[in-house]
Amino acid sequence: MKNRRTAFFLCCLALFAFDKDRVAIPHVKVAQSTAEMDWSAIELRVFSSDGQPATGLVALPDGEVNRVELEPVSGGFRLRNDPFGGRVRWTIQSFTGR
């Protein structure tokens, strides 16, 4: 079951890679296997060519797919919502402009 969820997570990630405007793509530190990944620390890479709000999908291995929304603030973006209620330490890196 975990492998199926991981595959779904990676498919969602691949779909977002095709349209990188106003999107937040989750990244987890690389590990030898998905079982060793630290899912409590996720980096969101935000792509917004015009600095407008961005959205993305994040799924932890033991749960459902959740939508994250980010809003622009001075110097970057911040989470508008935390669907995991503090279980994840978010790092946000933004890429704006063309």
- Name all domains of the chain by residue range, CATH numbers in brackets: 2-96 (2.60.40)
Q: What is the pTM of this model?
A: 0.77
Contact (Cβ atoms closer than 8 angstroms) between residue 10 and residue 59 = no
> Confidence class of residue 1 from pLDDT cuts 50, 70 and 90?
very low
Q: Could you tell me which of 29, 39, 41, 81 has the C-alpha nearest to residue 59?
A: 39
Q: Could you tell me which of 88, 86, 82 has the C-alpha nearest to residue 28?
A: 88
Contact (Cβ atoms closer than 8 angstroms) between residue 46 and residue 94 = yes
The dihedrals phi and psi of 16, each to the nearest 5 degrees, come to -70, -25
3-state secondary structure of 13: helix
pLDDT in tens, 22-74: 999 999 999 998 889 999 999 999 999 888 999 999 998 888 899 999 999 99
